[in-house]
């Protein structure tokens, strides 16, 4: 069993990372981080050694150097039969924003063949 954690540099990505690492530790399993940002992931920011691995969204494959973020997550799920859960961060979006721009979270929620744990970042105190 492996937990796949989709991360970005934004607050929802940090929330997904924290929740995914806690999930992996609680289950005593490994975790794979999929960095959805274009910039490389700084593994020095990890609070623990990562039992699993790190996958960058930017890869060199078939002459292409970039992948759609949702496809990067779904590709990893299909490539590794040990992945049993995906952890993603979500942010609030307006209905118009969802209709016009689509949603990475929505794509993963609808297309993932394994269960998805969706987390929100903690609300900022007013």
Yes or no: say if 57 and 67 are a contact pair by the CB < 8 Å rule: yes
pLDDT exceeds 90 at position 124 = no
Quick count: other Cβ atoms within 10 Å of Cβ 96? 8
Residue 126 has pLDDT above 90, yes or no: no
Per-residue pLDDT at 109: 87
Does this model's pTM top 0.85? My answer is no
More confident of the two residues 60 and 33: 33
**Dist. CA 54–CA 57, nearest whole Å:** 10
DSSP structure string for 45-114: G-SS--SEEEEES---BTTB----HHHHHHHHHHH-TTEEEEEEE-----HHHHHHH--HHHHHHHH-SS
pLDDT at 42 over 80: no
Q: How confident is the model at residue 110 (pLDDT cuts 50, 70, 90)?
A: confident
pLDDT tens for residues 73-98? 998 999 999 999 999 998 776 676 65
Nearest Cα residue to 121 out of 85, 97, 90: 90
Q: Model confidence at 102, in pLDDT bands (50, 70, 90)?
A: low
pLDDT in tens, 51-65: 677 777 766 655 556
Least confident stretch, 9-23, 47-61, 109-123:
47-61
């Amino acid at each position: 069993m492996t937990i796949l954690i989709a991360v970005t540099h934004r607050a929802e990505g940090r929330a997904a990372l924290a929740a995914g690492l806690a999930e992996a530790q609680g289950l005593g399993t490994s975790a794979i981080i999929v960095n959805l940002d274009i910039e490389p992931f700084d593994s020095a920011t990890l609070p623990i050694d990562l039992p699993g691995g790190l996958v960058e969204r930017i890869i060199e494959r078939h002459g292409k150097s970039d992948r759609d973020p949702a496809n990067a997550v779904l590709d990893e799920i299909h490539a590794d039969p040990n992945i049993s859960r995906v952890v993603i961060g979500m942010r609030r979006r307006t209905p118009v924003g969802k209709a016009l721009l689509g949603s990475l979270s929505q794509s993963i929620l609808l297309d993932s063949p394994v269960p998805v744990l969706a987390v929100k970042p903690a609300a900022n105190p007013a």
